[in-house]
């Protein structure tokens, strides 16, 4: 497995990766990053001795802009290539207007510099997966695993000794950092995430590949850390909400919790982590989850 391509998102190394799988039917990319980092993707492929035109398959873990934003643009340049996506993400990929409109509400003027364009993916260039099936790319077998929790349409991909975990495997920016959950709106689902972790723990792979960021050994400690941090993060937000804090106050509480936890594992981690998933966004996702849970309880 070649090393991940560092897309140097916002000029910062080690935030968003694209992973490359060599097959007898061309290259497969696991996640493309956003359109804004396409030059870095192209340069990274060049460093691996490959060209953009060698890419035949685009395996999306999910359709968030930082993972799938460039997919449509790439397809327009690569007439041979196909995109693989979970069924519940497919419609948004074909017609990304709603996705872009909701992102624009969050990012406003920064949309273009952060993400760039998101072009639609034509239906006939798309293989829609449920999760559970095996896809053959040349002589490489790719097993898609339905892994909701971070996003309702999230897939992980198991290829031999390698397991590509997208965002359901957490954000881990250094060997010494425990995996932490990115929890943006709108799909955060804690029980589903726990089920996905249990599934991925049992996958017989040697190496985990994270979009944010890099490759780590498949060890129970990775998943233990993610579970612990998911419980801690969600409790911080739940308690702050229950104590009557408004969203800005919850955000302050959570940001400080996260800063302290990350700084204890590495002084440079809090800043880099915020590029992968800003704390205010994680608060929005968890606040939405708890508010809906309260409604469900009546």
Q: Does 187 contact Zn ion by CB under 5 A?
A: no
In terms of Cα–Cα distance, which of 19, 4, 23 is closest to 141? Answer: 23
Give the pairing type, strands 82-86 and 126-129.
parallel
Give least dist CB 182 to Zn ion, A. 6
Q: Which is nearer to Zn ion, 50 or 163 (CB)?
A: 163
CA distance 39 to 178: 31
Q: Which is nearer to Zn ion, 167 or 233 (CB)?
A: 167
Give least dist CB 101 to Zn ion, A. 19
What CA dihedral angle connects 159, 210, 226 and 185, to 10 degrees?
A: -110
CA distance 46 to 44: 5
Stretches 75-83, 96-104, 164-172, 249-257: which one binds Zn ion (CB under 5 A)? 164-172
CA distance 87 to 152: 10
CA distance 239 to 256: 14
Give least dist CB 172 to Zn ion, A. 12
Q: Which is nearer to Zn ion, 66 or 162 (CB)?
A: 66
Q: Which is nearer to Zn ion, 196 or 253 (CB)?
A: 196
Stretches 114-122, 140-148, 165-173, 186-194: which one binds Zn ion (CB under 5 A)? 165-173
Give least dist CB 124 to Zn ion, A. 27
Give least dist CB 110 to Zn ion, A. 17
3-state secondary structure of 216: strand
Q: Which is nearer to Zn ion, 167 or 187 (CB)?
A: 167
Residues of this chain, 52-71, that bind Zn ion according to CB under 5 A: 66
Q: Does 167 contact Zn ion by CB under 5 A?
A: yes
Give least dist CB 62 to Zn ion, A. 8
Q: Which is nearer to Zn ion, 8 or 167 (CB)?
A: 167
Token digits for 211? 């979009």
Q: Does 227 contact Zn ion by CB under 5 A?
A: no
Sheet of 55-59: strand order equals 5-6, 17-23, 26-30, 55-59, 82-86, 126-129
Number of residues in contact with Zn ion under rule CB under 5 A: 2
CA distance 80 to 19: 19
Give least dist CB 166 to Zn ion, A. 7
Q: Which is nearer to Zn ion, 115 or 223 (CB)?
A: 115
Stretches 32-40, 86-94, 100-108, 159-167: which one binds Zn ion (CB under 5 A)? 159-167
Backbone angles phi, psi at 37, to 5 degrees: -110, 15
In terms of Cα–Cα distance, which of 194, 181, 198, 276 is closest to 237? Answer: 181
Q: Using CB under 5 A as the criterion, what x/- string covers residues 239-258 for binding Zn ion?
A: --------------------
If one counts every other C-beta atom within 10 angstroms of the C-beta of residue 296, the result is: 7
Q: Which residues bind Zn ion (CB under 5 A)?
A: 66, 167
């Amino acid at each position: 497995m070649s090393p991940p391509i560092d897309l140097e998102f916002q000029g910062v190394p080690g935030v968003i990766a694209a992973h490359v799988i060599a097959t007898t039917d061309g290259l497969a990319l696991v996640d493309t990053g956003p359109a804004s980092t396409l030059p870095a993707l192209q340069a990274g492929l060049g460093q691996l001795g490959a060209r953009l035109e060698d890419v035949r398959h685009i395996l999306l873990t999910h359709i968030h802009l930082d993972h799938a934003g460039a997919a449509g643009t790439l397809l327009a340049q690569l007439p041979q290539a196909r995109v693989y996506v979970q069924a519940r993400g497919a419609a948004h990929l074909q017609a990304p207007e709603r996705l872009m409109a909701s992102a624009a509400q969050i990012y406003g003027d920064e949309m273009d510099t952060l993400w760039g364009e998101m072009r639609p993916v034509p239906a006939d260039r798309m293989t829609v997966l449920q999760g559970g099936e095996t896809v053959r790319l040349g002589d490489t077998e790719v097993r898609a695993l339905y892994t909701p929790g971070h996003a309702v349409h999230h897939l992980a991909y198991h290829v031999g000794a390698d397991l590509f975990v997208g965002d359901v495997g957490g954000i881990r920016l250094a060997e010494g950092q425990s995996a932490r959950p990115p929890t943006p709106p709108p799909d955060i689902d804690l029980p589903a995430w726990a089920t996905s972790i249990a599934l991925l723990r049992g996958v017989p792979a040697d190496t985990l590949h994270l979009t944010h960021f890099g490759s780590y050994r498949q060890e129970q400690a990775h998943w233990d850390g993610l579970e612990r941090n998911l419980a801690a993060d969600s409790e911080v937000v739940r308690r702050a909400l229950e104590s009557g804090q408004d969203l800005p106050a919850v955000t302050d509480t959570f940001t400080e919790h996260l800063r302290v936890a990350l700084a204890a594992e590495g002084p440079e981690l809090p800043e880099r982590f915020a590029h992968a998933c800003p704390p205010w966004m994680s608060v929005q996702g968890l606040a939405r989850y708890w508010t809906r849970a309260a409604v469900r309880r009546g």
